[in-house]
Structure 1
Amino acid sequence: MPIPSMTILYVDNAEQSGAFYARLLDRQPVEASPTFVLFVLDNGLKLGLWSKHTCIPAPDAGGGGAELAIAVASAAQVQALFDAWTADGVSILQPPVTLDFGFTFLASDPDHHRVRVYAMAAD
């Protein structure tokens, strides 16, 4: 059975979104053009940012309908990323809070895609 290996977000401006995610992920893309930017993360996941103006067929949906979830090891790391992203001007949709699955906060990228950082609750 094939296993998905890439998430693609449709964006208004791939270069601008690429710069945003380079800061957020603290890494440079492995591929970058005016219409597509690709990051390869340490766990092997590929994150593509594709211009919604050049994708064929054109996407129907915009940002906000799903989340890019980033797991970290501890609540302290959640808080540290929240502090760093807030200082960098990242739009925050939900400040750090404890939910049933753990400690988390929710941010938004320039295209309103949701980015959640979380640390799982201890069993």
Structure 2
Amino acid sequence: MTSTSVVSIVYVNDAPAAARFYGDLLGMSPSLETPGYITFGLGPGADLAVWSGQFADLSPDVPRTSEVCLAIDGGGPDEINAIFEQWRSKGVTILQEPHDAGFGLTFLAADPDGNRIRVAPKD
């Protein structure tokens, strides 16, 4: 049997700019870079990719119906709040401030293209 990886793809207008944004938030460098497709290795079998050129002129005003969830291992309220404050100080667009969603403290942000990013504790 071949190994399988899950790649979450985020559509963006400018892949290098989006990669800088995500690299700064995640504190990591890309694992693969092409002019329009850039990936980050998040761990065994999981990657995050930003891809431009598939949709012209994505607008942050268009509602997004999916989101990337960054599940924080050991993510108690103090850690989630610290990430929230760090992102807010960087000027990241916050869509929902930290709140209890039944599975723990979580907040919702957006990247420059309007794609949603949720930060939550790992199940």
1:1-123 alignment runs, 5 A limit: 5-51=6-52, 53=53, 55=54, 64-72=64-72, 73=74, 74-119=76-121
Instruction: Using the TM superposition, name which of 65-74 and 77-86 deviates more.
Output: 65-74
Q: In 1, Cα distance between the equivalents of 2:64 and 2:87?
A: 19
Q: What displacement does 1:65 show?
A: 1.5
TM-score, length-normalised on structure 2? 0.82
| Aligned residue-pair number | 116
Q: Is the 8 A contact 2:4 2:45 kept in 1?
A: no
Deviation sequence 1:54-87 (CA, Å, 0-9, x none): x3xx59x866220111112211110010010001
CA contact (8 A) 2:5 2:47 kept: no
Counterpart of 1:81, as a letter, is I
Say which SS state the counterpart of residue 69 (structure 1) adopts: strand
Q: Secondary structure at the match of 1:41?
A: strand
1:78 is aligned with what amino acid?
A: I
Q: Give 1:34 deviation, angstroms.
A: 2.5
Query: Aligned Cα RMSD in Å?
Result: 2.4
Task: Note the C-alpha offset of 1:33.
Answer: 2.8
SS for the counterpart of 2:99 is strand
Q: How far apart are 1:114 and its partner, in Å?
A: 0.6
> Can you give the 5+ residue segments of structure 2 that lack an aligned partner in the other structure?
none
Supply the AA of the counterpart residue of 1:20.
F
Secondary structure of the corresponding residue to residue 79 of structure 1: helix
TM-score (structure 1 length as normaliser): 0.82
- Structure 1 unaligned segments of length 5 or more: list them: none
What displacement does 1:120 show?
A: 6.1
Hey, which bits of structure 1, 4+ residues long, moved more than 6 A?
A: none
